[in-house]
Amino acid sequence: MTDPAITPELIEAHGLKPDEYQRILDIIGREPTFTELGIFSAMWNEHCSYKSSKKWLRTLPTEGPQVICGPGENAGVVDIGDGQAVVFKMESHNHPSYIEPYQGAATGVGGILRDVFTMGARPIAAMNALSFGDPAHPKTRQLVNGVVEGIGGYGNCFGVPTVGGEVRFHPAYNGNCLVNAFAAGLADADKIFYSAASGVGMPVVYLGAKTGRDGVGGATMASAEFDESIEEKRPTVQVGDPFTEKRLMEATLELMATGAVISIQDMGAAGLTCSAVEMGDKGGLGVRLDLEKVPVREENMTAYEMMLSESQERMLMVLKPELEAEAKAVFDKWDLDFAIVGETIAEDRFVIMLDGAVKADLPLSKLSSEAPEYDRPWDPLPAPDPLADVPQIDPIDGLKALLASPNYAAKQWVYEQYDTMVMADTVRTPGLGAGIIRVHGTDKSLAFSSDVTPRYVKANPVEGGKQAVAEAYRNLIAVGARPLATTDNLNFGNPEKPAIMGQFVQAIQGIGQAVAALDMPIVSGNVSLYNETDGQAILPTPTICAVGLIDTPDQMINDAPRDRHVALLVGETQGHLGQSALLAEVFNREEGDAPPVDLAAEKRNGDFIRANVEMIKACTDLSDGGLALAAFEMAEAGGVGVHLTTDDTATLFGEDQARYLIACNFDQAEALMIAASQAGVPIETVGRFTGDSVRFGTAEAPLDELSTLYHATFRDIFA
């Protein structure tokens, strides 16, 4: 097969701009071969190179005494004491999931699990944050069903419990759904594995599934906007095999225990190309690959296809040659394909050979060091118009409107399709606030939460960015956890538009301020841009996943309110209705500013909760739907009614930040109020948990009736 000629059309089809192609010519001093063009395209697309976002990502706080490894490796590593570490990251699989929901979502889960066990950690928890279009849009139901089944199909077989996540709906996602997958693993802090190769002449070993033509060009596809021709992109979506992934994980962890692994990198986006370049670049070495040795499952694959394939469940590693026999025994035990496909070389070259012919010969370090980086123009977002009057409503009608929306209804229909309890260390399953997993065999637990409110980010990216972090922080605090660190998944539209770039830059500013103030540095993350279809961008959606530590079971808050518990509201209520859930769901208005986030108040109120866990029987953070929704959710979880004295719309449904609703025994309410006042934390009694109805002022409905609505909404729309 002869390679196609390098034409301007071919260059454009590879997502390379004319000036980027000129840069290639300047680096290599000649016209690239077809394979080389593919390699540059794979390394320099937005998905792999972060060329539009790098400048801003560098501004994020990433360090702290708890951080063992920040961004730049496969996942972040954070100290949890006793020589143990939690390893985690979140990554998007948006574009593939829209094209082929089951496999797109499944391989998103597979990719993030691989990132975690590549570092030497056994995955112990997963979450996923999903954004879909209008529930009434003809494509939404199929996407919801396909994505949820795909996530379950992969994670359930692999055997990792899902502990949380988000599911939201908004017409802005009609043409681009978002699938953000998070995984966390547990490792010994002194046994973390990295990607940097070392030593010249070391064997480069390929392990895992065979290489096929699936996913060729996937990363480039994920770096472009969609239009009506998107269905033609289906062949660029990979196909997942969770059973192979499970074996790959076990084999990788066993192999690491033999001491044979020098460096390791999973094959994710842009497969063999990215993984080999990463290992060489980080180690200051060159790499030679002999592609005829790559295990393939299709005939006559070209060098171009092999280098760009995104076949799943594959690893590349550099092994100690003297331990080859031990390594082979592990691969044989798990019946996995492996092959020595090349070696490290002293020269700074990336040499690709196929049957003795040179298919590519490029300066390796320049593939990443010389990658384009853009300081794209951006416009600060104009301040939103002030919110016009919001009329008072019957608060029970307001609550019912929220419970009838799939955005705020119970998500059991989703979570029941995921194995939430495998590994038998799940303490708190998904549904309300953070999920909790025990650190196996210890007294410690880890808490996980995934949050963002895209309406806020669109109205005010700085405050919206801060709010996403603050909400994740509060969800951890509400179960008694000490927030440790954060991973971010930044989903935005086309960065070449200054308004979109402005959302991105300002959201990062907000996120940066918040993670600094709340001491939860960003240790890993992912950027997904070009989430646009026919020029319509998604809501800016910077998903924040935070991880917290609970040292002992006594520190944990994991109960529901009981009859006669007092309902105490912590934090200041001003009744901020701008961009609120109530405004959107009842009045169909997305107006006003996002609620301002006072980070000092967040810290103070969070510290107060954690200092008083022994008096707090149940706790939840206040976010979407304000006091009314939080009170209902707590009451529902406890199977007990709740009576609040107020019936004021803004008090009940305002979304002021830094607030928690807590339930405590009657005889401890006073002590809590004194402790709050000493800590300078606003606190007030707002009612009590009792009876079998939800009552706001004089408006009332039976808890049973509301509970039935809460649980029926999602199933009625999507089942």
Looking up tokens 């060009």, which residue turns up?
Answer: 217
Q: Give the separation between CA 79 and CA 77, rounded to whole angstroms.
A: 7
Q: Show the binding pattern over residues 606-645: x = contacts another protein (CB under 8 A), - = does not.
A: ----------------------------------------
Q: Does 427 bind another protein (CB under 8 A)?
A: yes
Q: Does 712 bind another protein (CB under 8 A)?
A: no
Q: Show the binding pattern over residues 95-134: x = contacts another protein (CB under 8 A), - = does not.
A: ----------------------------------------
Q: Does 425 bind another protein (CB under 8 A)?
A: yes
Nearest to 433 by CA among 454, 449, 410, 421: 449
Q: Which residues contact 309 (CB under 8 A, 6 or more apart)?
A: 211, 212, 213, 214, 215, 216, 271, 272, 301
| Cα of 542 vs its chain's centroid, Å | 9
Alpha helices, H only, 286-406: 303-308, 324-333, 364-369, 395-403
Q: How far is the CB of 280 from another protein (least distance, A)?
A: 32
Q: Give the separation between CA 386 and CA 390, rounded to whole angstroms.
A: 12
Q: How far is the CB of 419 from another protein (least distance, A)?
A: 5
Distances (CA, A) of 623 to 408, 516, 588, 616: 11, 21, 19, 19
Q: Does 438 bind another protein (CB under 8 A)?
A: yes
Q: Give the separation between CA 572 and CA 590, rounded to whole angstroms.
A: 23
C-beta of 234 vs 440, nearer to another protein: 440
Whether 47 is catalytic: yes
Whether 643 is catalytic: no
Q: How far is the CB of 154 from another protein (least distance, A)?
A: 11
C-beta of 311 vs 579, nearer to another protein: 311
* Window 527 to 556, contacts with another protein (CB under 8 A): 553
Nearest to 183 by CA among 84, 290, 74: 74
Taking the CB of residue 379, how many other CB atoms lie within 10 A of it? 14
The values of phi and psi at residue 593, to 5°, are -90, 160
C-beta of 162 vs 309, nearer to another protein: 162
What is the signed CA dihedral for 27, 29, 30, 35, rounded to 10 degrees?
-30
Q: Show the binding pattern over residues 249-268: x = contacts another protein (CB under 8 A), - = does not.
A: -x------------------
C-beta of 102 vs 350, nearer to another protein: 102
Q: Does 246 bind another protein (CB under 8 A)?
A: yes
Helix axes 18-28, 34-44, angle to 10 degrees: 120
Q: Give the separation between CA 602 and CA 592, rounded to whole angstroms.
A: 22
C-beta of 21 vs 334, nearer to another protein: 334
C-beta of 429 vs 657, nearer to another protein: 429
Q: How far is the CB of 256 from another protein (least distance, A)?
A: 18
Q: Does 193 bind another protein (CB under 8 A)?
A: no
Question: Which of 84, 368, 412, 509 touches another protein by CB under 8 A?
Answer: 412
Q: Show the binding pattern over residues 136-155: x = contacts another protein (CB under 8 A), - = does not.
A: -------------x--xx--
**Given the residues 93, 95, 576, 643, the one annotated as active site:** 93
Question: Which of 6, 27, 157, 189 touches another protein by CB under 8 A?
Answer: 157
Q: Does 334 bind another protein (CB under 8 A)?
A: yes
> SS3 for 576-599, per residue?
CCCCCHHHHHHCCCCCCCCCCCCH
How far apart, in Å, do the first and last CA atoms of the chain sit? 49
What residue ranges in 368-505 does DSSP mark as E strands? 426-428, 435-438, 445-451, 482-491
Question: Which of 228, 322, 335, 355 touches another protein by CB under 8 A?
Answer: 335
Piece of the chain touching another protein by CB under 8 A; list 16-24, 54-62, 327-335, 504-512? 327-335
Question: Which of 420, 573, 579, 649 touches another protein by CB under 8 A?
Answer: 420
- Structure tokens that stand for 53 in this block: 């976002």
- Structure tokens that stand for 250 in this block: 């076990």
Question: Which of 417, 442, 509, 685 touches another protein by CB under 8 A?
Answer: 417
Percentage helix, strand, coil for the chain under 3-state DSSP, each rounded to 5: 40, 25, 35
Q: How far is the CB of 714 from another protein (least distance, A)?
A: 13
Task: Number of residues interacting with another protein: please give it, by CB under 8 A.
Answer: 33
C-beta of 183 vs 568, nearer to another protein: 183
The values of phi and psi at residue 66, to 5°, are -80, -15
Catalog residues that contact another protein under the rule CB under 8 A: 149, 152-153, 156-159, 241-244, 246-247, 250, 333-335, 412, 415-427, 438, 553
Question: Residues with catalytic annotation?
Answer: 47, 93
